[in-house]
């Protein structure tokens, strides 16, 4: 598991070990044993290091949680000789303007990748490269924004701290009741573990994994209910939201969350209850008390809300 010591990687490791699967986590830093059966340190962007690590460990499945550029996919395809390569992608979908994204809404790109790629374009090109490898046994997992304990993006903390301070929470009026693109880290670990199962016919397929039917409104009301606070939602036009006020958007140009029927049908994926995800995440928040950078503009938001 390249990236096995990261946010999603640890959740995937736990789920795989629960299923009796030997896991070998990998990352650049040296780490003591802990959550993992074993651990190797190497930089996957250096092909000789990747080749040596794969040669030494000979994994049946390579779960790749640290692949961001098309060249890295190509290196994996050149060096991995096991039964399944699982690429953890993201929302690679084009603007769907409020339509929930189905896996087939992603269309591989034409031509060659440009030198400079942002995060989403990098993932699109990674998937495009995979689609050009009919003999390589690849599978793709596509999570949306993932939250849970130790969410280093702090996007979930942004909502928790606003609800906890009792003030209004600004949300995009166009989209806050749409299905949102969010998932619990434990569910994404579960989806990754399911995709590792060699009995699943998952070659050359992509799978969405997320909550189903959870809107930003549901998320905020769920947090408020768990905190015993009122949910003071204040809808305003998306274009007028201050930077960082609603890190999950949803941006009206984007998809309204995911359709997860394929993962449910073919992998046996089922998302957990939102309440369970929030209970665990709030337990972390109460101890860690992190602050999202956008919270620095809280005064401006409260002024906009007229409170």
Ligand X SMILES: NC(=O)c1ccc[n+]([C@@H]2O[C@H](COP(=O)([O-])OP(=O)(O)OC[C@H]3O[C@@H](n4cnc5c(N)ncnc54)[C@H](OP(=O)(O)O)[C@@H]3O)[C@@H](O)[C@H]2O)c1
Residues that bind ligand X (CB under 6 A): 2-3, 5-9, 26-29, 43-45, 65-66, 88, 90, 143, 145-146, 152-153
Which CB, 77 or 304, lies closer to ligand X?
Answer: 77
Which CB, 154 or 168, lies closer to ligand X?
Answer: 154
Q: Identify the helix (H) or strand (E) that includes residue 146.
A: strand 145-147
Q: Identify the helix (H) or strand (E) that includes residue 139.
A: strand 138-142
CB of 209 to ligand X, least distance (A): 10
CB of 2 to ligand X, least distance (A): 5
| Residue whose Cβ sits closest to ligand X | 6
Which CB, 236 or 256, lies closer to ligand X?
Answer: 256
CB of 30 to ligand X, least distance (A): 8
Which CB, 49 or 131, lies closer to ligand X?
Answer: 49
CB of 304 to ligand X, least distance (A): 27
Question: Strand, coil or helix: what is 138?
Answer: strand
Which CB, 147 or 234, lies closer to ligand X?
Answer: 147
What's the token pair of residue 220? 């905020």
Tell which residue, 14, 93, 88, has the closest CA to residue 44. Answer: 88
Listing DSSP states for 176-217 in one string gives TTSBP-EEEHHHHHHHHHHHT-TTS--TTEEEE-S-SS-BHH
CB of 32 to ligand X, least distance (A): 13
Q: How far apart are the first and last CA of the chain?
A: 48
Supply angle C-alpha 62, 65, 70, rounded to 5: 90
């Amino acid at each position: 598991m390249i990236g096995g010591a990261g946010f999603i990687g640890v959740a995937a490791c736990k789920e795989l070990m629960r299923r009796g699967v030997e896991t070998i986590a990998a990352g650049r830093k040296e780490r003591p044993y802990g959550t993992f059966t074993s651990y190797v340190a190497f930089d996957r962007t250096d092909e000789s290091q990747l080749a040596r690590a794969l040669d030494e460990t000979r994994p049946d499945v390579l779960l790749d949680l640290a692949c961001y550029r098309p060249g890295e996919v190509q290196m994996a395809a050149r060096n991995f000789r096991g039964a399944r390569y699982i690429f953890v992608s993201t929302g690679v979908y084009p603007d769907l303007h409020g339509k929930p994204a189905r896996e087939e809404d992603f269309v591989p790109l034409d031509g060659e990748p440009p030198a400079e790629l942002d995060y989403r374009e990098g993932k699109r090109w990674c998937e495009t490269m995979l689609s050009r490898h009919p003999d390589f046994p690849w599978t793709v997992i596509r999570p949306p924004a993932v939250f849970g304990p130790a969410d280093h993006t702090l996007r979930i903390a942004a909502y928790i701290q606003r609800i906890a301070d009792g003030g209004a929470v600004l949300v995009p009026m166009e989209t806050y009741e749409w299905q949102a693109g969010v998932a619990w880290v434990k569910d994404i670990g579960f989806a990754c573990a399911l995709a590792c199962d060699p009995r699943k016919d998952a070659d050359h397929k992509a799978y969405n994994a997320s909550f189903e039917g959870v809107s930003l409104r549901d998320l905020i009301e769920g947090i408020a209910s768990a905190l015993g606070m009122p949910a003071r939602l204040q809808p305003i036009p998306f274009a007028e939201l201050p930077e960082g006020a609603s890190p999950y958007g949803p941006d009206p140009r984007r998809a309204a969350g995911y359709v997860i029927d394929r993962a449910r049908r073919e992998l046996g994926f089922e998302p957990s209850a939102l309440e369970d995800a929030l209970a665990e995440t709030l337990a972390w928040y109460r101890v860690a008390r992190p602050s999202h950078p956008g919270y620095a503009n809280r005064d401006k938001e409260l002024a906009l809300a007229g409170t």
